[in-house]
């Protein structure tokens, strides 16, 4: 008899739990209509839209507005196509290593910054980098902001100091400002102390003027030796990006034999204008974007991948 009583109590408790669950489901069902929205209130009022649907509708509206703005900007700046939008940065950044043949003696043992021309990725993205700081064309800043094209600037103080404010506006628009030495020398021709003055000195200038201490460094002309990388590391540099392609107003130049773009390639150009080019910086950007967009590439932000 005692065993039967215990079973009765267990079944009773189970029945209570089932009853509460049914009541909860009934309450939810009574407050919701078909498709997850609330049932239509009395008096003919319109049913309330579920918050997730409102959020999706708002997001879609913003996407349409952003695309319309890019279409208008592309037309305004004379592009053949609307630039593609880069995918979101990876949650886990790729492992960056020194390109084969670009190592110095003891590179890995000394923990020197990697030297590379391409970022490992399967996405059809490229990275635009601009060197030195000679040309300070306000139209270039407007164009890049209108089109929302990310880029990274590698600056030399002997040119930047003519107008520090220009590059402050560039930074405010989202561009990364990085190290290209104080005076743009051929670094392997200097002593280690001389190289350290050039690299660490530019670190100090950027930190003082723009509030950040760069972690990216590009040696002038792409030339470096072990002392270059040791000096850079001592100043806080973690990566040394070179380039796979270079774009000008009137042509492209390629490092690779196949003369083609590849996912993750770093593209170089310079702050130049009609004084040295057959056109302006907006002309160069137009040539760059028309080619990469036609080949299905978007421009991503280099700093997001390092």
Q: What is the pLDDT of residues 214-265, one digit of tens each?
A: 999 999 999 999 999 999 999 999 999 999 999 999 999 999 999 999 999 9
- For 266-298, what is each residue's pLDDT tens digit? 999 999 999 999 999 999 999 999 999 999 999
CA 268, 273, 274: angle at the middle one, nearest 5?
Answer: 135
pLDDT in tens, 181-221: 999 999 999 999 999 999 999 999 999 999 999 999 999 99
User: pLDDT at position 51, please?
Assistant: 62
Residue 20 lies in a domain: no
pLDDT digit string, tens, across residues 19-76: 444 344 344 333 343 334 444 444 455 555 556 777 778 888 888 888 888 899 999 9
Check pLDDT > 70 for residue 85: yes
* Residue 208, domain member (yes or no): yes
38 lies in some domain: no
Which residues, 6 or more positions from 194, have their beta carbon under 8 angstroms from its beta carbon? 185
The pTM is what?
A: 0.81
Is the per-residue pLDDT at 180 higher than 50?
Answer: yes
Please report whether residue 36 resides in a domain: no
The mean pLDDT value of the chain amounts to 88
Report the domain count for the chain: 1
Report if residue 39 sits inside a domain. no
Which pLDDT band, with edges at 50, 70 and 90, does 146 fall under? very high
Long-range pairs for 69-72: beta carbons < 8 A, 24 or more residues apart: 70/147, 70/148
| CATH number, domain containing residue 252 | 3.20.20.370
**Residue 120 in this model has a pLDDT that exceeds 90:** yes
pLDDT digits (tens, 9 = 90+) for 126-139: 999 999 999 999 99
pLDDT of residue 52: 74
**Boundaries of domain holding 208:** 62-305
| Residue 52 resides in a domain | no
Confidence tier at 111 by pLDDT (50, 70, 90): very high
Q: What is the C-alpha to C-alpha distance for residues 39 and 34, in angstroms, rounded to an integer?
A: 8
CA distances from 61 to 69, 122, 236, 256, 290 (A): 12, 30, 43, 42, 27
pLDDT at 61: 86
Residue 220: inside a domain, yes or no? yes
Domain assignment of residue 41, yes or no:
no
């Amino acid at each position: 008899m005692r065993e039967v009583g215990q079973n009765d109590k267990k079944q009773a408790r189970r029945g209570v739990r089932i009853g509460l669950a049914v009541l909860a489901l009934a309450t939810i069902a009574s407050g919701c209509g078909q498709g997850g929205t609330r049932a239509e209130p009395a008096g003919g009022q319109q049913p309330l839209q579920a918050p997730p649907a409102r959020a999706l509708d708002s997001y879609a509206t913003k996407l349409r507005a952003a695309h319309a703005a890019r279409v208008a900007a592309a037309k305004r700046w004379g592009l053949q196509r609307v630039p593609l939008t880069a995918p979101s940065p990876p949650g886990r950044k790729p492992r960056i290593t020194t390109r084969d043949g670009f190592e110095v003696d003891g590179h890995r043992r000394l923990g020197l910054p990697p030297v590379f021309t391409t970022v490992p990725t399967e996405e059809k993205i490229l990275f635009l980098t601009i060197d030195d700081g000679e040309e300070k064309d306000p139209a270039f800043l407007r164009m890049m902001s209108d089109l929302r094209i990310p880029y990274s600037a590698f600056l030399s103080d002997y040119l930047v100091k003519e107008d520090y404010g220009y590059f402050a506006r560039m930074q405010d628009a989202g561009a990364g400002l990085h190290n290209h030495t104080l005076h743009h020398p051929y670094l392997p021709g200097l002593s280690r102390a001389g190289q350290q003055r050039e690299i660490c000195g530019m670190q100090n200038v950027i930190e003082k003027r723009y509030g950040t201490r760069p972690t990216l460094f590009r040696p002038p002309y792409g030339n470096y030796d072990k002392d270059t990388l040791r000096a850079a590391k001592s100043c806080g540099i973690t990566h040394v990006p070179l380039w796979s392609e270079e774009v000008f107003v009137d042509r492209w130049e390629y490092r690779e034999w196949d003369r083609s773009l590849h996912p993750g390639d770093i593209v170089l150009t310079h702050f130049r204008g009609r004084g040295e080019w057959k056109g302006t910086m907006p002309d160069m950007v137009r040539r760059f974007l028309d080619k990469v967009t036609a080949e299905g590439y978007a421009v991503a932000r280099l700093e997001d991948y390092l």
